[in-house]
Amino acid sequence: MAIKIYIDQGHNPQNPNAGAEGNGYREQDLVFTIGLELADILRAEGYDVRLSRPTADTQLGTSNASSLAARVNDANAWGADYFISLHANASSIASASGSEALVYRLGSVAAELGEDILDGLADTTGLPDRGVTPRPNLYVLRRTQMPAVLLELGFITNKRDADLMAGRPELFAQGIAEGINEFVNDTADTAVRPTPEIPNGEGLTYAQFLQQNPYKGYLKVQAFRGDQTYPVPGVAVTVSREFADGRRVFFEGVTDENGILDGIDLPAAPRGESLVPDDPLTTAVYDLSARHPLYRDVDVPIEIYEGITAIQPLRLLLKEE
């Protein structure tokens, strides 16, 4: 089956969610064209491709938020294998130049893909490689259910970068395609390696764990007093995990006035076909600890699944109870 690549041409033709402008160009127009060229190249090479803006007048959503959600929902519903979002950078420093890749998390499949794409871009465009940067807050990186890379192809505020993006869009398309091919060939090599003995278990280093859990799952915590009637605000929640190279904290937060802590993102393994509970291949296990001066400590293991919000109830007992 062909690999499915979702190409998201950033922004909209008009506001809401129009792009940056510089040197007489508009970001949304530059990335629209580069996206079309990239789709042509990838299709010719046997990939299955879907574009967020297939025509020049495709306008997505009615607000910034719904414009971003439209792309992510489309890619998730389509079941894309990879999500590539195309953008142009802007800076008040006119000399700032080059390509960079933003990903949800370093040490992930997306980060590897981003590195390969940057290599390809530097190859074909000659622009500086500014590296891969984690940006977990970006909506299209955190809500996509597949490895996602947001590319800042060049600076629209830099004359050389902007003229190149406008005048030679095919160079950017070729560079990205080159990187995707490089990545896919590498992945094909590693796919035949035997699976580790304990896929998600003890003895892993932090880096190995991230490799095995390149996706995102979500956690919602609901703290209440023993009788389930009263929510408990102010509970300090920590999500961590022990690794061969020490314990790592993934999340720290405090429950709100409704006793709730929501939208916690954690690395998760690809879900695959089944949703078998306790399947070590499909769940990532963490330690959750809850602390509140009036209540007894709670320490529970939690399991996180790709693309799913796990709801963890925290039943708290007063210390003197």
Contact flag: residue 22 with Zn ion (CB under 5 A): no
Q: Does the active-site annotation cover 197?
A: no
Residue-wise DSSP of 17-62? S---EETTEEHHHHHHHHHHHHHHHHHHTT-EEEES--STT----S
Q: Which of 27, 115, 152, 182 is catalytic?
A: 152
Q: What minimum distance in Å lies between the beta carbon of 1 and Zn ion? A: 32
Q: Which residues pair with 21 in a beta bridge?
A: 26
* Between 72 and 268, CB nearer to Zn ion: 72
What sign has the CA pseudo-torsion 285, 282, 145, 36?
positive
Q: Give, as ranges, the residues between 248 and 287 that touch Zn ion (CB under 5 A).
A: none
Stretch that binds Zn ion, among 8-16, 184-192, 199-207, 212-220 (CB under 5 A): 8-16
CB of 209: closest distance to Zn ion in angstroms? 32
What DSSP character marks residue 187? H
DSSP 134-172: E-TT-HHHHS-SS-EEEEEEEETTSHHHHHHHHH-HHHH
> 17 or 282: whose CB is closer to Zn ion?
17
Cα–Cα distance measured from residue 117 to residue 123, given in angstroms and rounded to the nearest whole number: 10
Helical H runs in 229-309? none
Please, are residues 250 and 239 in contact by the beta-carbon 8 Å criterion? Answer: yes
Alpha-carbon distance of 165 to 89, in angstroms, equals 11
Q: Pull the structure tokens for residue 138.
A: 């970006």
For the CB of residue 150, give the shortest distance to Zn ion in the complex, in Å: 8
The span of 37-45, 67-75, 82-90, 311-319 binding Zn ion (CB under 5 A) equals 82-90
Using the minimum distance from each CB to Zn ion, give the nearer residue, 8 or 306.
Answer: 8
Q: Tell me, by CB under 5 A, how many residues bind Zn ion.
A: 2
Closest distance to Zn ion from the beta carbon of 297 (Å): 45
Stretch that binds Zn ion, among 6-14, 62-70, 75-83, 313-321 (CB under 5 A): 6-14
| 87 touches Zn ion by CB under 5 A | yes
87 vs 105 by CB, closer to Zn ion: 87
Only one of the segments 7-15, 97-105, 123-131, 269-277 lies at the binding site for Zn ion (rule: CB under 5 A); that segment is: 7-15
Return the half-sphere exposure (C-beta side, CA atoms, 13 A cut-off) of residue 217. Answer: 22
Task: Establish if 10 lies at the interface with Zn ion (CB under 5 A).
Answer: yes
Interface residues with Zn ion (CB under 5 A)? 10, 87
Just list the catalytic residues: 152
